[in-house]
A and B are shown apart, each in its own frame.
Chain A
């Protein structure tokens, strides 16, 4: 299975909003509302911040939001803060009953 496609890097200034895209196919993102997003700091395990496209687990800031259109899902972070600088990964359930991750996006807060 092919990894979902994410931009390698994005950047923004504190207070701004950024959006990270995650493009899949009709076999994964396009068919299932089971897209998740993870935040990973260096040397740490990933932490899920969005599930089922746009649902936030308790404890995750409402500055994080998710959406989906067709085969592309998106993570938006509003009011950027220095602590948001991390790697972000999307994932999706697939038609093969597997899970596929994106290649990851490095967010730099300028």
Chain B
């Protein structure tokens, strides 16, 4: 059964770079897209972007200038970097995976990593 385990720094100061990684176990890494989604406290879900095993990416236009999602197939991991963070980037960040051949919905989710931006 596929599992996503995510990790990264949970407390950042404004202007720093958010960096999270998601490790995949129990399933093939190739052929899938891998996504990042966030949820600010008490608010709704926001799709950040995704990447496939070849490194092809798609980003939310509102975050595109600050986001990089990359993949390391040798380690079955994918990562999120978000530059110049502000308090508005404080959120629970999820890594997730759509089914094979799909991108439009996520059937596997990580447990989430809380990221707080505060001076």
Among A48, A57, A98, which residue has its beta carbon within 8 angstroms of that of B58? A98
A93 near B44: Cβ-Cβ < 8 Å: no
A93 near B47: Cβ-Cβ < 8 Å: no
**Residues in chain A near residue B16, CB distance under 8 A:** none
B47 near A45: Cβ-Cβ < 8 Å: no
Q: Does B28 contact A (CB under 8 A)?
A: no
**Residues in chain B near residue A21, CB distance under 8 A:** none
The smallest beta-carbon distance between A15 and chain B, in angstroms, is: 28
Q: Count of B residues near A, CB < 8 Å?
A: 24
Chain B residues within 8 Å of A, Cβ to Cβ: 35, 37, 43-47, 49-50, 58-62, 94, 103-107, 109-112
**Residues in chain A near residue B35, CB distance under 8 A:** 99
A93 near B103: Cβ-Cβ < 8 Å: yes
Q: Count of A residues near B, CB < 8 Å?
A: 26
4 extra interface residue pairs, beta carbon distance < 8 Å, beyond A47-B109, A99-B105? A48-B106, A97-B103, A101-B44, A101-B46
B45 near A45: Cβ-Cβ < 8 Å: no
Among A34, A46, A47, A57, which residue has its beta carbon within 8 angstroms of that of B104? A34
Report which residue of B37, B43, B105, B112 has the largest number of chain A beta carbons within 10 angstroms of its beta carbon. B105
Among A32, A34, A51, A91, which residue has its beta carbon within 8 angstroms of that of B47? A91
The smallest beta-carbon distance between A68 and chain B, in angstroms, is: 13
**Residues in chain A near residue B60, CB distance under 8 A:** 1, 98
Whole-angstrom distance between the alpha carbons of A46 and B92 in the complex?
A: 12
Chain A residues within 8 Å of B, Cβ to Cβ: 1, 3, 32, 34, 36, 38, 45-48, 51-52, 57, 89, 91-93, 96-104
12 inter-chain pairs at a CB distance below 8 angstroms, sorted by A residue, are A32-B104, A46-B109, A47-B109, A89-B45, A91-B47, A91-B105, A98-B47, A98-B59, A99-B47, A100-B47, A101-B44, A103-B44
**Residues in chain A near residue B61, CB distance under 8 A:** 1, 96, 98
Given contacts A1-B62, A45-B94, contact A99 B104 (CB under 8 A): yes
